[in-house]
Amino acid sequence: MKQKIGAVLGIVAYVTLLIGVNFYHKAYPVSNMNDEIHLKLVEYMETHRFEAVEPRIDSVWDFVPGLVGAEVDYELSYNKMLLNGEFDPSLIVCKKIDYKEDPEQFRERPIYKGNEEGQYVSLLINVAWGEEELDKMMTILDRLGVRATFFFEGRYAENHKNQVLKLYNDGHLIGNHSYSHPSRWGGFTYDQYVEEIKKTNDVLSSIINEPIIYFAPPAGEFNDRTLKAAYDQGMYSIMWTADTIDWMGGSADVLISRVMKKLEPGALILMHPKPETVIALEPMINQLKEKGYQFKTVDEIVQGTRPECS
């Protein structure tokens, strides 16, 4: 009798084990399951899921872009670690969680900053002069592995096509900073704004063979006509959060201090190709990295992507 009961219990235990293993593999569909990696990975997943944040109109900042969420891709992460033989956070693969709202519906509104829920900043470099300084900035950015957004005046781009193309090929984003940077910008008609924007788009697109989507108005000056002109050309209007005010002068330390006083998650940091800006660029980037910030281009800010999940 005891032998029969023992046999029955053994069968029950075996069936239970089979069901458990089957469930285990269905929940986490990978081959050659390693319990230690699995348990550590599941524990990691519980504290590394970030919900998507919707884009919104803010009472202070106007249009604030959204930010996609992120979660760990268990199967891809586990299989990479299995090949490595142990749990390793550097091998984590994440996948995005999309937000619901389409940022296109807010395109006619100016953008001063990215979403504050992510530790990201973006460097904006407005270019209407400074050929030698721009070359030096390109070298620094390349060495530090940082991509920025360069807004070009159309006249400058026409005469420096190789610079524009090199920046584009190096992974930087190219934007529009009007054609002639006119001093009377605020008094232009709608048609004059369209002419300045479209002419520059044509110049830049002919160089990089891509549409130009982002517009930085001269001196940050805009009105309803400016915004509509950019919108009608399929563009977003970009402002800034923190300004080096390098055009006014100041040492490299002063430029960095101006930025740090205005720094916050999602900050758009404005500068120009000036000698002191070149000196300030590397220490500024290093300080931002030390504070835990990652760098995005403006399109990544507006779309709310997480570069680590792309």
Please give the structure tokens belonging to residue 204.
């830049």
pTM of the model: 0.85
* Separation between Cα atoms, residue 182 and residue 186, nearest integer Å: 9
* Burial per residue of 7-19, b for 16 or more beta-carbon CB atoms within 10 angstroms, e otherwise: eeeeeeeeeeeee
Q: Do 142 and 170 touch, CB atoms closer than 8 A?
A: yes
pLDDT of residue 307: 77
Strands 173-176 and 120-127, sheet pairing: unpaired
**CB-based contacts of 174: which residues, under 8 Å, 6+ apart?**
149, 150, 152, 164, 167, 168, 204, 208, 210, 212
In the block, which residue shows the tokens 């400074």? Answer: 130
Burial class (CB in 10 A: 0-12, 13-18, 19+), 55: buried
Mean pLDDT by 10 residues, the chain (310 residues): 47 41 46 79 92 95 96 93 92 92 94 96 97 98 98 98 98 97 92 98 98 97 96 98 96 98 98 98 98 97 84
Q: Do 161 and 179 touch, CB atoms closer than 8 A?
A: no
Please give the structure tokens belonging to residue 171.
């992974």
- Binning the chain into helix, strand and coil, the percentages to the nearest 5 are 50, 15, 35
Candidates 188, 192, 173; CA nearest to 127 is 173
DSSP 59: T
* Separation between Cα atoms, residue 234 and residue 88, nearest integer Å: 44
Name the region of 209 (left: φ>0; alpha: ψ -120 to 50; beta: rest). left
